[in-house]
């Protein structure tokens, strides 16, 4: 009986994967996430999973970039969830595109030619990712 108990204990030891001479090597740690990428364009925003972030680190309604007419503003998606860049207010006569759904590392650019204030949000998260602005002089 003692022999059986010893064999059982040895079996349990192996089944638990404790590291011994026959144990498996521990799994390698996951690689660190890549650093945030910079947006394209003359000015731009980083998109993370709860915010648009401007070059000063300000988020959402506090975020704002200023550019001159005919420069390019860009966005880079540095998050994991789907987000959009959707304009909610543009100067009279201005023409803009909607980004549609963006995923990690996708970019979106707009060349803005009409001076004034442009306001945008994310259509997937309109309660939080809202009120970011671009001032075109
Ligand atoms: Cu979003």
Tens of pLDDT along 88-111?
999 999 999 999 999 999 999 999
Residue 7, pLDDT score: 46
pTM: 0.76
Q: Are 75 and 83 in contact, with CB atoms under 8 Å apart?
A: no
Residue 54 exposed, middle or buried by CB count within 10 Å (0-12, 13-18, 19+): buried
Ligand 1 centroid, distance to 1 Cα (angstroms): 64
- Note down pLDDT in tens along the chain; length 137 residues: 445 444 444 444 444 444 445 568 888 888 877 788 999 999 999 999 999 999 999 999 999 999 999 999 999 999 999 999 999 999 999 999 999 999 999 999 999 999 999 999 999 999 999 999 999 99
Q: Which of 87, 8, 78, 13 is nearest to 46 (CA)?
A: 78
Ligand 1 centroid, distance to 61 Cα (angstroms): 14
Residue 1, pLDDT score: 46
Q: Which of 102, 42, 105, 32 is nearest to 71 (CA)?
A: 42
Ligand 1 centroid, distance to 93 Cα (angstroms): 27
- 51 vs 63: CA distance, rounded Å: 9
DSSP for 79-117, please give it.
Answer: SSS-B--EEEE--TT--------B-TT-EEEEEE-S-EE
Ligand 1 centroid, distance to 65 Cα (angstroms): 19
| pLDDT tens profile 109-123 | 999 999 999 999 999
């Amino acid at each position: 009986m003692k022999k059986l108990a010893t064999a059982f204990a040895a079996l349990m030891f192996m089944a638990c994967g404790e590291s011994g001479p026959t144990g498996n090597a521990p799994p390698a740690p996951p690689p660190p996430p890549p650093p945030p990428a910079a947006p394209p364009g003359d000015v731009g925003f980083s998109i993370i999973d709860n915010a648009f972030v401007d070059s000063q680190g300000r988020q959402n309604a506090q975020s704002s970039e200023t550019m001159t007419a005919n420069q390019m503003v860009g966005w880079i998606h540095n998050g994991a969830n789907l987000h959009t860049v959707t304009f909610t207010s543009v100067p009279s006569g201005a023409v803009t595109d909607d980004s549609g759904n963006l995923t990690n590392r996708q970019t979106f650019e707009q060349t803005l030619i009409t001076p004034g204030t442009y306001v945008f949000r994310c259509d997937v998260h309109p309660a939080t990712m809202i009120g970011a602005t671009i001032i075109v002089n």
